[in-house]
């Protein structure tokens, strides 16, 4: 089995990793970098539990080879919180009760965050469409969709300029 040395950025940190040719991005994150928030639900591109942002796009990391990630940037669920502050989608999922066993949650959070980056005010249909690759066996999705809508409201209210900025 050939090994390859790759360099990539994971959650803002540069990493140099030696990976076998057949190692997936998911395996590299979990086994080489200790980023176990990315879950292995099926290893077959079906469940979305392994979703990460790869160069800004949500992908099933079990379907990407680690060697393909040389020179690229990956964000996992561990990279969502900033400065010990949860991301609005994380807060909203807790507040709306969108988490039960939690196995699907990292992938759901990443897919939802990716949606809100490209569409800060999604409709119910757009939310359902964006989450179509993320399976959840527990929640029935209603609370997850509520959480995405609440996160959108939080993000949009944060983005608004303060009244003092409007006046001056
Ligand atoms: S573990 Fe990757 S899609 Fe299920
Ligand atoms: S919360 Fe259990 S699979 Fe989604």
Does 52 have pLDDT greater than 60? yes
Tell me the average pLDDT across 22-47. Answer: 98
For residue 73, report the distance from its CA to the centre of ligand 1, in Å: 19
pLDDT of residue 123: 97
For residue 44, report the distance from its CA to the centre of ligand 1, in Å: 5
Residue bearing the CA closest to ligand 2, atom 2: 101
State the CB neighbour count (10 A cutoff) for residue 103: 18
The residues, any chain, with a CB within 8 Å of residue 9's CB and separated by 6 or more, are 15, 72, 73, 74
Strands 3-10 and 73-75: parallel
For residue 167, report the distance from its CA to the centre of ligand 1, in Å: 50
Tell me the average pLDDT across 27-46. Answer: 98
Does 142 have pLDDT greater than 60? yes
Q: Give the alpha-carbon dihedral of 152, 51, 87, 98, to 10 degrees.
A: 70
CA–CA separation, 119 and 129 (whole Å): 12
Which residues are registered as beta bridge partners of 8? 15
Which atom of ligand 2 lies nearest, measured to the CA of 108? 4
pLDDT of residue 168: 42
Q: Which residues line ligand 2 (CB under 6 A)?
A: 99-104, 136-139
pLDDT of residue 1: 73
Query: What region, left, alpha or beta, does residue 140 occupy, with left being phi > 0 and alpha being psi -120 to 50 degrees?
Result: left
Q: Which residues line ligand 1 (CB under 6 A)?
A: 40-43, 45-50, 60, 62
Ligand nearest to the backbone CA of 47: 1
For residue 1, report the distance from its CA to the centre of ligand 1, in Å: 24
pLDDT of residue 162: 52
pLDDT of residue 158: 83
Confirm if 23 and 11 have CB atoms less than 8 A apart.
Answer: no
Among 62, 87, 64, 66, smallest CA distance to 158 is for 87
């Amino acid at each position: 089995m050939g090994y390859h040395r790759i360099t990539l950025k994971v959650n803002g940190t540069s990493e140099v990793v030696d990976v076998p040719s057949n190692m997936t991005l998911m395996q590299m994150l979990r086994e080489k970098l200790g980023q176990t928030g990315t879950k292995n639900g099926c290893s077959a591109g079906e469940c979305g539990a392994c979703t990460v942002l790869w160069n800004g796009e949500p992908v099933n990391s079990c379907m990407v080879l680690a060697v393909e990630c040389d020179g690229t940037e990956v964000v996992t669920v561990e990279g969502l919180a900033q400065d010990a502050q949860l991301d609005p989608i994380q807060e909203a999922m807790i507040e709306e009760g969108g988490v039960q066993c939690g196995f699907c949650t990292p992938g759901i959070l990443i897919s939802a965050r990716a949606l809100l980056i490209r569409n800060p005010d999604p409709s119910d249909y757009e939310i359902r469409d964006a989450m179509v690759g993320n399976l959840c066996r527990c929640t029935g999705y209603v609370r997850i969709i509520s959480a995405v809508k609440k996160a959108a409201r939080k993000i949009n209210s944060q983005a608004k300029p303060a009244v003092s900025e409007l006046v001056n």
